[in-house]
Amino acid sequence: MTNSSTPLALLGGKRACEQSWPAWPVFDNTERTMLSDVLESGQWWFGARVRAFETEYAAFQGARHAVTCTNGTTAIEMGLRALGVVEGDEVIVPPYSFIATASAVVTVGAIPVFADIQPDTLCLDPDQVEARITPRTKAVIPVHVAGCIAAMDRITPLARRHGLRVLEDAAHAWGSQWKGRGAGTLGDCGTFSFQASKNITAGEGGILVTDDEELADLCRSYTHCGRLKGAAWYDHGVLGSNLRLTEFQAAILLAQLTRLESQTLRRAANAAILDQALAGLPGVRLLAPTPAMTRRSYHMYVFRVDEQLLGLPRQRFIEALNAEGLPASVGWYRPLYANVVFRQAHQGPAHGIRSPLANKGVDYRSVSCPVCEQVCRDAVWIPQQVLLAEPEAIHQAAEAIRKVIRHAGKLRTA
């Protein structure tokens, strides 16, 4: 631990974090062997390994069924279509998320309606959801940001009262649990991503989990060119696409899944070290998930800073953390409605890519979600691979944050 008088690294002092952080992705001979087996088998297409991964991942999340697909974005699109969302329907989404949460709604012809988030979880606020329900509302997409499960104990009953479907965007929530139940099993269905930065990855890939067999069968047909269960190969009973995962991806994911439980527990244990070390620090606000969330996957560790209390801009605070050897960032989220595709949605002419919402009577220029906007100004993200380090390194990370706060006055005058 550094002495309280140790100068900031940004001002020429010694770094608080001297070690290298774990690389991502993590892999070993398990992946090599399984990939080689696929290569040598000549069976590269959708087959036994895909089915095995679907079975094992469904069991990991506590779901009855799972359907793989090309990525997390197409998983959301597939889920919305299977839930009956069609042209002109409204789907309530949070603005603090990756663009796919809202763009998938547009892709299926529906209209995203943005509802604000809760300041202590960064997830969808049920009160804001209720205020935005109209006769055109068909579904709600709660996003489990950074593995923190949204207020599903309020969102799901609210949706049921209004006859709405619930699709959980669980792209950060592999292994997260609510009262012992896995993310993705708390609504009608849930979708996950296996993109390169994710806690379990094959470079790309996605999956939908559900307890509804009919919904799962419909999703399978959609990914499989519209083929229905038991139908002849060239019979196409429903509208479909080609979203199938390959055997190579499934092999990698099967290998990755063998580590996911232990990695999830390590991330949670290291996050607890940070929580304890940072609690009560001036200018630092930790997230406060409900106790009903019994396990969290931590796709990133997020806290918020009060620039006024720190007397320091967030960007300068992060520069100082980086100089101390801690890879913190502002994150990559900004309010989704600030993106051009939504900000200029009222402008025509209509075009399937450039202006897909034109002529649909929507105008997002007046949309404002104040909590989301403030979070985008004050959140600090630490990537998930940092939480795979040894506990001593996590204590050093905590000391880096404390050190910058202690010396904030020097940064103001430097």
Helix H or strand E segment including 71: none
Lateral strand order in the sheet of 165-169? 65-69, 206-210, 189-193, 165-169, 137-140, 90-93, 111-114
User: 207 is written with which tokens?
Assistant: 């999956």
> Active-site residue numbers?
198
DSSP 161-226: HTT-EEEEE-TT-TT-EETTEETTSSSSEEEEE--TTSSS-SSS-EEEEES-HHHHHHHHHHHBTT
Question: Coil, strand, or helix at residue 52?
Answer: helix
β-partners of residue 192 are 207
DSSP H or E run through 396: helix 391-406
Q: Are strands 177-178 and 293-295 parallel, antiparallel or unpaired?
A: antiparallel
Asked if 67 contacts 115 with a C-beta cutoff of 8 angstroms, the reply is no
Neighbours of 26 (CB within 10 A): 16
Per 3-state DSSP, the chain is made up of helix, strand and coil in percentages (nearest 5) of 40, 15, 45
Output the six-digit token pair for 63. Answer: 């779901």
Burial class (CB in 10 A: 0-12, 13-18, 19+), 403: buried
